[in-house]
Every structure is written in structure tokens, then in C-alpha cells.
Amino acid sequence: MPLHPIPSVLLETERISARIRELAEAIERDYPPDEHIHLVGVLKGAFVFIADLARHMTSRVTMDFIAVSSYGKDTRTSGEVRLLKDLDTGIEGRHVIIVEDIVDTGLTLTYLTEVLRARGPKSLRTVCLLSKPSRRQVPVEVDYVGFQIDDHFVVGYGLDYAEIYRNLPYIGVLQD
């Protein structure tokens, strides 16, 4: 097995946990207490974030997953989004929140928002753990943002570089 360099810490575990707790509280304040919230995690990157977010929520929460990929193997998104795995259940009439790991160019979230909105949810919101506003190619509104970061390629906490580092318990930056 080749050795991989250890990324330097950008956001440590405790800071991420505290922020996710705040995001869960902010989300729950915005919905009537008896409403049911349907979280849609975007695979693969959001799997750690959605697990933590959901465990801080006390409302009735259900979860489903969708998988997309952008063409190309570069560390940068290449502009086209493909649906790799659709949701298991319909979302018509439900309060849906798309849970994303990071919003970079904004293409993935724009695509997903359009696809899901066309299915007639009762409401549709978005939450992301990280956002890199300086990289946007399309303007996209994210309802709840964990951290805004500068233009670094980050890994850990679900985020990968060539499928490695998803299990890092912090958000790190790969050195050149």
C-alpha cells in the first residue's frame, strides 16, 4: 500500500461537532415541532455529516440518499453532473433538506435542487458543512452553512481525494 501524506488540520473535530449541533438547532427552530423532516444525503461525501446532523435532531427525521458524480477525475469539478443513484422513496408533500458535504462551483446543488423541486416537496431547503464561495460558477443559495472556507482542496469528515481520507475525523488540507 502506498503511504499517503497526513493532511494539515483546517477544522478540528471538536469545532466541527459544535457547529453541527448549532446547525441542527437552527434547522429545528425553522420547522413547526410536529413536522416531519426528510433529510436527503448526497453520497458519498455527506455520509459523516448527515449521521452527525441527524443525531442532533430531535424532530421526527427520516433519511434517504442520492448519489451524483461530476465527470472527470480531477480534484476540481468538471462542469457536468450525473445522477448515479436516485432516492428510494418519493418526496411529494414532504419537508426535504438536501444535505451536502461542500458547495464548490455550485453545479451539483443547483442540479439537485432542480431535480428534487420538480418532484413537488412541501418545502425544499439545503444544508452544507462547507462552502467555498470564491469558487462559484453558478449562484446558489444555501439555507444553512457550517463553515465558509477559502479555496483549499479539503479532505476528511466524508470528503475524499481519489476515495482516500473520507474517514479522517477532522477537515484537513492536502499540502502540495
Residue 108 grid cell = 451539483
Instruction: Please identify which residue in the block is written with the cell numbers 481519489.
Output: 162
Q: Closest CB to ligand IMP among 8 and 58?
A: 8
Are 17 and 129 in contact, with CB atoms under 8 Å apart? no
Q: Closest CB to ligand IMP among 31 and 153?
A: 153
Are 98 and 42 in contact, with CB atoms under 8 Å apart? yes
Q: Which of 39, 52, 94, 101 binds ligand IMP (CB under 6 A)?
A: 101
- In the region spanning residues 20 to 49, those forming contacts with ligand IMP, defined by CB under 6 A, are 45
Residue 44 grid cell = 458519498
Nearest one of 88, 134, 128, 87 to 108, comparing CA atoms: 128
- In the region spanning residues 55 to 94, those forming contacts with ligand IMP, defined by CB under 6 A, are 77
Q: How many chain residues are in contact with ligand IMP, going by CB under 6 A?
A: 16
Q: Which of 24, 104, 168, 172 binds ligand IMP (CB under 6 A)?
A: 104
- Asked if 102 touches ligand IMP (CB under 6 A), the answer is yes
Q: Which of 37, 53, 108, 127 binds ligand IMP (CB under 6 A)?
A: 108
Q: How far is the CB of 93 from ligand IMP (least distance, A)?
A: 27
Q: Going by DSSP bridges, is the β-strand pair 95-103/36-43 parallel, antiparallel, or unpaired?
A: parallel
Q: Closest CB to ligand IMP among 117 and 122?
A: 117
Are 140 and 106 in contact, with CB atoms under 8 Å apart? yes
Q: How many CB atoms lie within 10 A of CB 17?
A: 13
Summarize as ranges the residues that interact with ligand IMP (CB under 6 A).
Answer: 45, 77, 100-109, 153-155, 159
